[in-house]
Chains A and B, each alone.
Chain A
């Protein structure tokens, strides 16, 4: 027989090496900027976050979810039992039998991992990840047999020392991958970093069914954005390290699909290269489209842009959040991208293409087009809209947004006003007092201009009394709802789809049946993924008698139109246009009309060459289907005379 001490020594050595590696890794994360976290509460919450929130995302792929539960659960249980059984030599059936069972579970899971790896989809990284299933199999099988041999289940001297020797080699290989590799940057790093990432996540509100999508403000007296990996908050660095390279982000990224030089998975891996130092030569996944792997090189204190990633990569992102929604590790790609953009804009003054011009316009005229600030109400010259400055108090404050300068968006705005009037809503607009919400400035990285606009708007809104804000622009909706809080603006904000749906359910407007052909609905990112509103638009379409032909990618998986995050302004070239791909999605379900709920989506999708489905905003569809009572609303007791509101 081999010496008794060999196996315990191996396990202890692997555990020790893991501990050293883990400490080293923790020090790498701590190179980031400080960010207070709740240490104990975070660690306590971690198991629940893993079992509930993370698996909620993983379970979208049922087979993979079960595979992971078996493998990871089996491994954790095995490890907990290996220590008493093989290190301390406790020889109890109560320990060895569960250990045998757990290694079997792990082995079963590993078989499925192995099967998936035999013909892996393009989104999965290869390289060391191809070795992982074999390591898992070796580890579980070796420990199963060793435990079996060492236990009293089998007759004495059943095991031959050669067999034991072979098994010990297996154990060594398994321990090397699963413990040593976990601490020293192998594929299993994801388990260790991922667990801590869940515990110290920068947006803990996301767990337990919550939502946290607003960008965090820049301290304009402090550091402006992220220039080097060490400029990230330490828990952002930790988050990058949690990546399992499953490539789900890559599969849903509209910029990647369009052949623009962005791949969210590669971006996160480049950040890992940055925090650990080195090059991306060992990266074994899909590259940034059109860029070779092996060029990126960085360290915690080296500039990121033009070392690790190119600026075009950062400017390709539409901030659609599809990657974040899909990431089983709940990594925040968009936060990282915007942080790096902030450095490019605020420190280097390198916003590409029309970016500088748009920011300049926002600073000088409070709107991205550079239009006269006093011409905001020209679109409604004939509508006699009540102004907040005159009324002071209104039930609904209609946030018009910069759509007022765009002739196509004006049709949406006019349709919405028609609905408001038909429902006798007590509303008013800010008129020329309104400024751009700051959405574009912020996503182009200019948080200084965003904060100026936000403070200005918050001060304006403070002057008036209203019970809620309604807007037709999901970007303004998101910013007003989720990003003005940091500047003292807390409002009840509603998107027009939610609001109109409420009017319908309350019976304040009557709708005729829609008379067109097949309709599909395109979820705007800033309404859906950013704010979780998937139901109201569909309910509204149902109220119009429309049976929505859902596109393959809809709801939380909706494909971006390509218009978010200033992407049309920075305009990074690719092989396709994102909007074209989205209209192709609609063509596949043979839709004649694409219902949208965002003026930006309208502009992007209408930019696709004909023949293509017609693009109609929900407000336009509803306004067209309004049943206007001939006697007029004035005849009913509850309604206010509409003329009295218009003439003042």
Chain B
């Protein structure tokens, strides 16, 4: 059934950063979002970037995946991306908006999709691995859970989804396609991110990691230790009961953990 040209899919992309060299590149998860978009809607899928339009590295690599263009919402370094995106998305009529889980540089808080979903009033599905099909205004979404587990969700359109590293690899980018690709400016008003003005930024220090001591005696045990779901870390699985009861249980947990006060 893919690609479905009637489906309106947009992927939000950011400039990535290579973990070893720190060089600018396409962000790994954002590129997977673009890949998923291309799979679902082909050349009709849209790609949106908020930034100053510097093509070096990142944007060129997205264009090299075979996109004819990227919609550029012009904003400088100090701008807050969320209101810019919000305004643009309100004006357009997308069915599915895809993002990475979080950016590879800058704040990388992973909050953008949540803030957008909240203000658009759309559902948000996090860490998806694939979208199986879209039928009758609902999409079958495959959500990635730890240790290779998957959960199939049915989500009404429109929605926002963050694409996990478990999604299909992004295709190779080609120099020729990047050379042909264009950035299309959309006129936007980019307000300054006031909160960030007061922050001071410093490079993160690598923190020591706690070594996991494997007590396994045999290869089978080691395999189990590496793959099995960790047991006995508290919590419980609630299958019975109404949605109200389940929501109450979650709320109680959040209060007890101090997440909600």
Contacts and interface: CB of A to CB of B under 8 A. Distances in A.
Interface of A: 220, 224, 345-351, 355-356, 359-360, 363-366, 370-373, 446, 448
Nearest to B16: A364
Contacts of B172: 349-351, 355-356, 359-360
A419 B66 CA distance: 51
A346 B179 CA distance: 10
Given A349-B64, A349-B66, A364 B176 contact: no
9 contacts: A347-B174, A347-B175, A349-B64, A349-B172, A349-B173, A363-B25, A364-B18, A365-B23, A366-B21
Nearest to A218: B175
B19 to A, nearest CB: 9
A345 B174 CA distance: 6
Nearest to A446: B175
Interface string B5-44: 0000000000000101101010000000000000000000
B97 interface: no
Nearest to A372: B20
A348 B179 CA distance: 12
Contacts of B175: 220, 224, 345-347, 446, 448
Interface residues of B, number: 16
Contact of A224 (B21, B173, B176): B176
Contacts of B65: 349
A504 B248 CA distance: 84
7 tightest A-B CB contacts, nearest first? A349-B174, A356-B172, A347-B176, A349-B172, A364-B18, A448-B175, A346-B175
A346 B178 CA distance: 9
A278 B156 CA distance: 53
B28 to A, nearest CB: 10
Given A348-B174, A349-B171, A366-B21, 15 more contacts: A346-B176, A347-B175, A347-B176, A349-B64, A349-B65, A349-B177, A351-B172, A355-B172, A356-B171, A363-B25, A364-B20, A365-B21, A365-B23, A372-B21, A373-B20
Interface in B104-150: none
Contacts of B21: 364-366, 372-373
B23 A364 contact: yes
A199 B14 CA distance: 54
A346 B23 contact: no
A605 B134 CA distance: 52
A346 B20 CA distance: 25
Contacts of B174: 345-349
A167 B23 CA distance: 79
Nearest to A224: B176
Given A356-B172, A359-B172, A364-B25, A347 B20 contact: no
B41 to A, nearest CB: 19
A356 B171 CA distance: 9
A448 B176 CA distance: 10
Contacts of B20: 364-365, 370-373
A447 to B, nearest CB: 8
A220 B18 CA distance: 25
B58 to A, nearest CB: 11
A369 to B, nearest CB: 10
A64 B176 CA distance: 47
Interface string B154-181: 0000000000000000011111110100
Contacts of A355: 172
A365 B21 CA distance: 6
A155 B127 CA distance: 102
Interface string B175-215: 11101000000000000000000000000000000000000
Nearest to A347: B176
A448 B175 CA distance: 7
Contact of B177 (A347, A365, A372): A347
